[in-house]
Chains A and B, each alone.
Chain A
Amino acid sequence: MRVAASDLPICFESVSVCSRGVTILDRITLQIEAGSPTVLIGPNGSGKTTLLRTAMGLVSPTQGRITWGGVEESPPARRAIVFQRPVMLRRSVSANLSYALSVARIPRRAERIKELLSMVGLANLGKRSARQLSGGEQQRLALARAIARDPTVLLLDEPTASLDPASTKAIEEIISAIAASGIKVVISTHDLGEARRIGGEIVLLHRGRVVETANAGEFLNSPKTDEAKAFLAGELLV
């Protein structure tokens, strides 16, 4: 097995994922390139989370093929994911970061941990138990833990779902800073406002299929498909 120098591009070649007779992803062909963020949007159950988990390598395609930087079966050394409900290890905030650095074989320097904590606005909470943080703080720590692995691709599964506006704003600012640092961000959301704010490329998913792909301005101002028009009009896609 050869490890890709970068995990980009991530290429889905007619990828389907089925579970217990239900098709979750249906012949997805998609290329995720380096550059501005890719935003996966779509209603609940459209396949956003499964697509991200497949891109991470946590779910194997039932059919089709996926490659990372041109390589199949690439271990997730240079990609990271933040789940919608991240799990905090039963340790302090700093120890969670130290652990991520350790498993990525990155020297666990105290300065690096401080830098990461400052980046996500948790500089004063390093000694606190990670599981006692609020939902927004846990998301920020999960982002720092993902960045600690020095990824080339960061996959974010609805990172602001069920957060208050202030926490959402803080998370989105961190995501923008991460994207500006050159890390490819792939984020799923069903919040059109968030898709608009993050921008980049938009991929609309519906019933496990890619319905439309376009840059944010084009997608939001002149959608081509009926599903995209309905989604933007706030109609329920079922």
Chain B
Amino acid sequence: MGSDTSALQLVLTGDPALLAIVRLSLIVSLSAVAFAALIAVPFVAFVALNRFPGREAVIVLMNALMGLPPVVAGLAVYLLVSRSGPLGPLGLLFTPTAMIIAQAILVTPIIAALTRQTIEDLWDEYRDELTAMNVGPFSRVTTLIWDGRFSLVATLLAGFGRAAAEVGAIMIVGGNINGYTRTMTTAIALETSKGDLSLAIGLGMVLIAIVITVNALAWLARWAGEKMA
């Protein structure tokens, strides 16, 4: 039996080891996106709606951080959570929590940059109406987030795509421990190096299926947004 046939069998029979890896990958990536959104959306809403000294520098930095190399993010988190690091006493190294932190750092700039564009465009359009309606600063933000919801969903899905496909950072801070911090991408890297292509291909198939689903959902979100626009 070829490795590709075995891989398909693993996927179709719902192999427990494969499912555990997929489950952990989803938990880590979804948590990272959720945390990134909680940090990025209010922050960029403030940046988009206000003028302050250094605003342009903040925007340039946010955009530049979209290209942050995953291994550098992983190294930074490693230094932060290692025994001698400032968060060492919390014992986060080689845990899913450290992996979530690393992925959140990678995903936050992407969500921030795309969200800022959405909110700024909407604000350009809504400024006069909302000002004339005497809408307060907090309500302005909630209004723009709500009315830009379809674009923002697409943004979050783009962030999830980046997180799910990431390997360098989580390998460094997670350690790729079997049954504990092993995700789809780290497992694929390991199993390929070991020559166990069945599991690697099986995980690759699941990963591709997830990426296609995420893209389809992002397209649907954009389509729904255009219908409402």
Please report A residues at the B interface, Cβ cutoff 8 Å.
56, 58, 75-77, 80-81, 83, 86-87, 89-91, 99-100, 103-104, 129, 131, 149
In the complex, what's the smallest C-beta–C-beta distance from B40 to chain A, in angstroms?
21
The residue that A87 contacts in the complex, of B128, B139, B225, with Cβ under 8 A, is: B128
Judged by a CB distance under 8 angstroms, whether B228 is at the interface is yes
Stretch at the interface among B2-10, B27-35, B129-137: B129-137
Chain A CB within 10 Å — which of B135, B143, B227, B228 has the most? B228
Q: Are B132 and A90 in contact (CB under 8 A)?
A: no
Known A87-B128, A91-B228, A149-B133; 13 more pairs at CB < 8 Å: A58-B132, A76-B134, A83-B129, A83-B132, A86-B129, A89-B129, A89-B143, A90-B147, A90-B148, A90-B228, A104-B134, A129-B228, A131-B228
In the complex, what's the smallest C-beta–C-beta distance from B137 to chain A, in angstroms?
12
Rounded to whole angstroms, the CA-CA distance of A81 and B132 in the bound complex is 7
- What residue of chain A has the Cβ atom nearest to residue B149's Cβ? A90
In the bound complex, residues from chain A placing their C-beta under 8 Å from that of B90 are none
Q: Are A58 and B133 in contact (CB under 8 A)?
A: no
The 3 lowest CB-CB distance pairs between A and B, nearest first, are A90-B147, A87-B129, A90-B228
Q: 15 interchain pairs (CB within 8 A)?
A: A56-B132, A58-B131, A58-B132, A76-B133, A83-B128, A87-B125, A87-B128, A87-B129, A89-B129, A90-B147, A90-B228, A90-B229, A99-B143, A103-B134, A103-B135
Residues A104 and B128 in contact in the complex (CB < 8 Å), given A90-B228, A90-B229, A129-B227: no
- What residue of chain B has the Cβ atom nearest to residue A56's Cβ? B132
Chain B's interface: helix, strand, loop or mixed, by majority? helix
In the bound complex, residues from chain A placing their C-beta under 8 Å from that of B128 are 58, 83, 87
Judged by a CB distance under 8 angstroms, whether B126 is at the interface is yes
The residue that B133 contacts in the complex, of A90, A91, A100, A129, with Cβ under 8 A, is: A100
In the bound complex, residues from chain A placing their C-beta under 8 Å from that of B225 are 90
Rounded to whole angstroms, the CA-CA distance of A77 and B132 in the bound complex is 9
Q: 8 Å CB contacts to A: which residues of B108-151?
A: 125-126, 128-129, 131-135, 139, 143, 147-148
In the complex, what's the smallest C-beta–C-beta distance from A78 to chain B, in angstroms?
10
- What residue of chain B has the Cβ atom nearest to residue A149's Cβ? B133
Rounded to whole angstroms, the CA-CA distance of A129 and B133 in the bound complex is 20
